[in-house]
Amino acid sequence: MRIHVVDHPLVAHKLTTLRDKRTDSPTFRRLADELVTLLAYEATRDVRTEQVDIETPVTATTGVRLSHPRPMVVPILRAGLGMLDGMVRLLPTAEVGFMGMVRNEETYEAHTYATRMPDDLSGRQVYVVDPMLATGGTLVAAIRELIKRGADDVTAICLLAAPEGVEVMERELAGTPVTVVTAAVDEHLNADRYIVPGLGDAGDRMYGTAG
């Protein structure tokens, strides 16, 4: 597994405002959307392309376009939805799947309650988006499902990561073609499995606590 921490002043600036507990939900959603686009720019450096011949107003030339099958973006519900627009803004031709996952608050294990994506992902590059890589359980379960369906190149895009979650992913997904792209790896998880210093519950801060 490869982890890439995006070191850029704009990333650090937006992340600082996301961390601030005074940032309201509309501002949080907007900044998360902007930050995801910056992370996606780095995450798609190795997106697969193919050559194409075109005519400019001046002459014939050769360019590139995204190859087939198109990449797939998979947000993990619900907080991952807040990252979707930022991804498809950069990859408008990508297909979108969904995974609904919930964490048992006693065991911290992740369980899948809904999926909406092709059964066969053979040859696909998949970008799975989830704001927080905390314990690692949710992303490990999601990526295992994607690999089981044939995905051969998976990139996880997270706003924040904890070292404990990174360690779990490295151990549980050893030998799997996975990259993690994040704005920061924070200090640790607290007793409630929240990232410290973190930014709180990303889903609640995006959408409120209804439900």
What is the rounded distance in angstroms from the CA atom of residue 211 to the CA atom of residue 204?
A: 10
Q: Is 142 annotated as a binding residue?
A: no
End-to-end CA distance of the chain: 35
61 is in an annotated binding site: no
78 is in an annotated binding site: yes
Does 90 appear as a known binding residue? no
Q: Catalytic residue at 103?
A: yes
48, 103, 149, 193: which is the annotated catalytic residue?
103
Looking at the DSSP bridge assignments, the partners of residue 206 are none
193 is in an annotated binding site: no
Catalytic position from the list 56, 59, 107, 209: 107
Answer yes or no: is 135 a known binding residue: yes
At position 3, the amino acid (one-letter code) is I
In whole angstroms, how far apart are CA 67 and each of 48, 72, 85, 146, 165?
6, 12, 21, 20, 32
**Residue 48 marked as a ligand binder:** no
Active-site residue flag, 204: yes
Considering the candidates 85, 152, 153, 201, report the single residue annotated as catalytic. 201
208 is in an annotated binding site: no
208 φ, ψ (degrees, to nearest 5):
90, -175
User: 16-37 b/e with 16+ CB inside 10 Å = b?
Assistant: eebbeeebeeeebbebbbbbbb
Query: Which residues participate in catalysis according to the annotation?
Result: 103, 107, 201, 204
- Binding-site annotation, residues: 78, 103, 130-138, 195, 200-202
- Binding-site annotation, residues for uracil: 195, 200-202
- Binding-site annotation, residues for 5-phospho-alpha-D-ribose 1-diphosphate: 78, 103, 130-138, 201
